[in-house]
Structure 1
Amino acid sequence: MTRIDLDLAHAYVPDPQRDEDYALLPLRFTFEDGGAYALLGPSGCGKTTLLNCVSGLLRPSQGTIHFDGKDVTAASPQARNIAQVFQFPVIYDTMTVGENLAFPLRNRGVPAAQVKERVGRVAEMLDLSSSLDRRASGLAADAKQKISLGRGLVRQDVSAILFDEPLTVIDPHLKWQLRRKLKEIHHEFRLTLIYVTHDQTEALTFADQVVVMSRGKAVQVGSAEALFEKPAHTFVGHFIGSPGMNFLSAAWRDGAIEVEGDASGRRYTPPLAPHIAAALQAAGTFRIGVRPEYLSLSGEGDPLAMPVRVARAQDIGTYWLVTATVAGAMANTGEGATLRARLGTEAAALNAGDAAWLAVFNRHTCYYVNEELVQ
């Protein structure tokens, strides 16, 4: 496997002048040898552009790409020794499943005994052993995509294996199985894997490190835990989680926090690290971010609880999802900022229109200046 160093940018228009002209803004990043990475973000954010730059299908308009210290910016995919699995199956319908899996190895002159051993092992991993002698043309789309995955995994000498949303055509239940299989394969062989997806579940369950992308920029790189607990950017807070992070506009006033639209007139003094308090004071205005999982019901006397009015309480089965509004909650002066809370059975007594208090400020609460986390 290979260490991949990127220092690049890409624009599909000549002479880009503004950020909007770039499909991929300037990026410096390293995919470590043997790491499992996911490129996560909405459609059009630059994921596939970045993947195609790594594979050699696209030459970046600026910068360089190095494999193990060697400049491969101008090298073809073949010269880079890359295996790539695409969104839709790429196989030979006239061949059997076994012949499809063996093709990348036979094409490189691998001895027949090694081909048989490797094909058998990959087929077993992907539950294809019973289908090795079947023609691929008669198989369903999800089975064909399993063959594509196998063709990417069968070679042991590749620099990296790139996956471009490979589970799109896969049955939902099978998706879970294949994600688990890919994770097992990575742990066993320590392959360098880069996986593109817009599905946060796929990214967070597959990768050791997730690169969250937005508008051509990598806004945060981290583990699933880091992305959930400490989103570095408000976009990450919105995008990761179901539902995403709650955000409230706020201001620093005389050593305390005022929340925009809070009709109660309360000021909050949560325990803050000195450097965070200094940053919020210097900024003047900022945003408060808190996950629905970290909101809890409290009482009016709690100095860290905010008054809200319940809009809806839904029984999801394992938890209650409560939606409430902050602005004018006690005075009933209209809708404002929305908070969503994942609560236990204590929420069963709540009904639309009820007044309640939510403990917003706790050790999980995050603070953002200019959309970026203060830490």
Structure 2
Amino acid sequence: MAEITLKNLGHSYAPNPSSDADYALKPVDLTWEDGKTYALLGPSGCGKSTMLNIISGLLKPSDGQLLFNGVDVTKAGTAARNIAQVFQFPVIYTTKTVRQNLAFPLECRKWAPEKIAERVTHIAGLLDLSDILDQPARKLSADQKQLISLGRGLVRDDVSAVLLDEPLTVIDPQMKFDLRRKLREINRSTGITMILVTHDQAEAMSFADEVVVMMDGRVQQSGPPEELFERPQNEFVGYFIGSPPLNLFAVQPRGGALHCPALGVDFEPEGRASDPEAVRVGVRPEHIHLEEEVGSLPRATVETIENLGIDRVFSLKTSGGAALKVKSRHHKSLKQGDEVGLSVSPEDVLLFDDGQRVECLASS
């Protein structure tokens, strides 16, 4: 198990990179603590798999250093790093039984048979594989094969970290939920550092102690899930995290402050005066309240309603033409075409200047 440090680590697939545009992974500084769970989150092509492959040793970085517990492993091979990696599609021996698959990594390390049997039984129990230990792997479902692949990565007790490269893609939704819970239980009981690559925000947020959001080869923000949700550093993180995504609204100058007509909220940005054209207001769909007694509140019309069971997502358009979504478990009597008032607490309002979040004082 290891603390993993990325020091100005970057990579370009071009032989002679001359600008940021040439880098699949822009140079980054990060430190991941021993024993925690992490997720690399972003759309396809954002650089998350490149980062994971550098950590595993499958790829040598163009720039910077990679440290395990303070030791430079940048040029070390995969075996020297003591990494276990689980890929998107199961990597198992179909000619062996489940038990033999789980035991194989330990047999290669010359473990004593009784110790192998004890460890295999333990991991099989964690992954609910105990009842099929003696079945041939070739006869199992894709879900079960991926569980075996995960088990092969987890069965060793001496790994520096377990790297998970979108391993839940082939698993059905209910099993994904159960497996994320199991992985966290294994992390808590063993102290093994786990790093998950995914494009699924729900997967990342429910799995990781810390989520690293990436876009265009650059780390946009790294932090606990609640911090990314409540205090995104830029518009991309705010929009990428959350379902539905962050609502964004235009502002206009009013006196010495800025005013958001859609919400009826005023702002005083801290720091330099901003160009209103470059400023937008962000509010989570969960933080906007619908008022059926409109009164003097800003108004909006319900355009569509999506029923999610206990919650509903209301798509609305303000009297000024701004589109927004509100997520609520109330207002079940509302229907398409109804007019409602909008209200929001100032503490739930975010202000972005040229795409970057800035501190502000908001008042309604």
What TM bracket, shorter-length normalisation? Answer: over 0.9
Residue 135 of structure 2 aligns to a residue in which SS?
coil
Where does structure 2 lack aligned partners over 5 or more consecutive residues? 360-364
Where does structure 1 lack aligned partners over 5 or more consecutive residues? 271-275, 331-335
Amino acid at match of 2:98: V
| Distance in 2 separating the partners of 1:84 and 1:267 | 51
Amino acid at match of 1:109: K
Aligned to 2:300: 308
Matches within 5 A, 1:124-135: 124-135=125-136
2:264–2:298 CA contact under 8 A, matched in 1? no
Return the match for 1:368 from 352, 355, 359.
352
TM-score when normalising by structure 1: 0.90
TM-score when normalising by structure 2: 0.92
| Distance in 2 separating the partners of 1:94 and 1:344 | 51
Amino acid at match of 1:293: E
The Cα RMSD (Å) is 1.9
Residues 87-133 of structure 1: CA distance to partner in whole angstroms, max 9, x if unpaired? 00101111111111011111011111211111110011111112111
| Distance in 2 separating the partners of 1:217 and 1:346 | 41
Tell me whether 24-33 or 306-315 shows the greater mean CA deviation: 306-315
| Distance in 2 separating the partners of 1:66 and 1:314 | 48
Aligned to 1:342: 327
Structure 1 stretches (4+) deviating beyond 6 angstroms? none
After superposition, the Cα gap between the structure-2 partners of 1:357 and 1:19, relative to the gap in structure 1 and judged at 3 Å, is farther
Residue 373 of structure 1 aligns to a residue in which SS?
strand
Aligned to 1:333: none
Aligned length: 356
After superposition, the Cα gap between the structure-2 partners of 1:140 and 1:210, relative to the gap in structure 1 and judged at 3 Å, is same
| Distance in 1 separating the partners of 2:208 and 2:243 | 19
How far residue 361 of structure 1 moved from its aligned partner, in angstroms, is 5.0
How far residue 282 of structure 1 moved from its aligned partner, in angstroms, is 3.7
Residues 159-202 of structure 1: CA distance to partner in whole angstroms, max 9, x if unpaired? 11100000111122111111111011011111111011111111
2:295–2:341 CA contact under 8 A, matched in 1? no
Amino acid at match of 1:311: E
Matches within 5 A, 1:52-71: 52-71=53-72
Name the % identity: 47
After superposition, the Cα gap between the structure-2 partners of 1:200 and 1:268, relative to the gap in structure 1 and judged at 3 Å, is closer
| Distance in 2 separating the partners of 1:315 and 1:248 | 25
| Distance in 2 separating the partners of 1:3 and 1:225 | 23
Matches within 5 A, 1:63-102: 63-102=64-103
Residue 27 of structure 2 aligns to a residue in which SS?
strand
Amino acid at match of 2:172: D
| Distance in 2 separating the partners of 1:249 and 1:13 | 40
| Distance in 2 separating the partners of 1:288 and 1:199 | 25
Matches within 5 A, 1:1-375: 1-7=1-7, 8-259=9-260, 268-269=265-266, 277-279=269-271, 281-284=273-276, 285-298=278-291, 305-326=297-318, 329=319, 336-346=321-331, 348-352=333-337, 354-360=338-344, 362-375=346-359
How far residue 267 of structure 1 moved from its aligned partner, in angstroms, is 6.3
After superposition, the Cα gap between the structure-2 partners of 1:124 and 1:347, relative to the gap in structure 1 and judged at 3 Å, is closer
Amino acid at match of 1:142: D
How far residue 253 of structure 1 moved from its aligned partner, in angstroms, is 3.1
